[in-house]
C-alpha cells in the first residue's frame, strides 16, 4: 500500500509536511490572475517523469504549455517506465526532451506549476523565475495533494498512481486557466 500510494515512506512524510506548510503560508506560493495566464509551465526535478507527463496531458487538452527540470541535463529523454505508464493512460512521451532550468525561456503570462514545496522555494529564489506566479499542481488533484512524490526509480505501481494523479490534476487545472488554451 505504501509503495503504490506514496512511493516511499519519505514520500508519505513529505506529503504530511506539505499540508501545514501550505496552510501556514510557508510554501512560497504566488497566485496568478487567471485571465493573465497564457502558458502552463510544469516543473519538477529532472523533467523526465512528472513535469514531462503533465506537459503531455496539457498539450493533448489543447493548452499552451511547457516543462523544465530544476536539476537535469537538457536533451535527456523521458524515463522509460514513465513512457510506458503514460502510454497506458493514452499519452505519448517518446519524443520528450528534458529542459534544464537554465535553458528554459520564461515568458510573460507563464504560470509555474511545481510538484513539491521545496521546488516552490527554489523557484521563488531564482532571479529569472522568482517574479512569475507559481502554484503546486497537486492543489488541483482529488484529493488535494500538495506533494506529488517523484516516481523515478520507484515501483511501477507508484509510477502509474502518480501519473494518474497528475492527469486528473491537469484536467482540473485547465478549467481555471482558459487563457492558456491554444487558439
Domain hosting residue 7, numbered range: 2-180
Q: What is the mean pLDDT of the chain?
A: 96
Q: Are strands 134-136 and 65-69 parallel, antiparallel or unpaired?
A: unpaired
Mean local confidence (pLDDT), 43-66: 98
- Res 2: pLDDT: 73
Nearest to 174 by CA among 16, 25, 62: 62
- Res 53: pLDDT: 98
SS3 9: helix
CA–CA separation, 103 and 89 (whole Å): 29
- Res 183: pLDDT: 66
User: Whole-prediction pTM value?
Assistant: 0.97
**Distance (Å) of CA 97 to CA 33, 53, 103, 174:** 30, 12, 12, 23
**CATH code where residue 124 lies:** 3.40.50.2300
Number of domains in the chain: 1
For a pLDDT cut of 90, what percent of the chain falls above it?
Answer: 95
- Using one digit for the tens of pLDDT, what is the confidence trace for 55-110? 999 999 999 999 999 999 999 999 999 999 999 999 999 999 999 999 999 999 99
pLDDT surpasses 70 at 161: yes
CA–CA separation, 90 and 32 (whole Å): 30
| H or E element, residue 58 | helix 50-60
For a pLDDT cut of 70, what percent of the chain falls above it?
Answer: 99
Active-site residue set: 44, 50, 150
pLDDT classification of 136: cutoffs 50, 70, 90: very high
**Distance (Å) of CA 56 to CA 8, 100, 149, 157:** 25, 17, 18, 20
The residues, any chain, with a CB within 8 Å of residue 45's CB and separated by 6 or more, are 69, 70, 71, 72, 119, 150, 152
Amino acid at each position: 500500500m505504501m509503495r503504490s500510494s506514496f512511493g516511499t515512506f519519505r514520500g508519505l512524510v513529505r506529503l504530511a509536511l506539505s499540508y501545514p506548510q501550505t496552510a501556514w503560508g510557508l510554501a512560497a506560493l504566488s497566485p496568478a490572475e487567471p485571465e493573465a495566464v497564457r502558458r502552463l509551465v510544469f516543473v519538477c526535478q529532472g523533467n523526465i517523469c512528472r513535469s514531462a507527463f503533465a506537459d503531455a496531458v496539457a498539450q493533448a487538452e489543447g493548452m499552451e504549455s511547457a516543462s523544465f527540470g530544476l536539476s537535469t541535463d537538457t536533451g535527456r529523454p523521458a524515463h522509460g517506465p514513465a513512457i510506458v505508464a503514460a502510454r497506458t493512460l493514452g499519452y505519448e512521451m517518446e519524443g520528450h526532451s528534458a529542459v534544464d532550468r537554465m535553458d528554459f525561456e520564461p515568458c510573460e503570462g507563464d504560470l509555474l506549476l511545481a510538484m513539491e514545496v521545496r521546488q516552490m522555494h527554489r523557484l521563488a529564489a531564482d532571479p529569472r523565475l522568482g517574479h512569475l506566479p507559481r502554484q503546486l499542481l497537486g492543489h488541483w488533484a482529488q484529493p488535494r495533494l500538495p506533494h506529488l512524490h517523484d516516481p523515478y526509480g520507484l515501483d511501477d505501481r507508484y509510477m502509474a498512481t502518480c501519473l494518474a494523479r497528475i492527469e486528473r490534476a491537469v484536467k482540473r487545472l485547465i478549467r481555471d486557466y482558459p487563457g492558456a488554451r491554444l487558439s
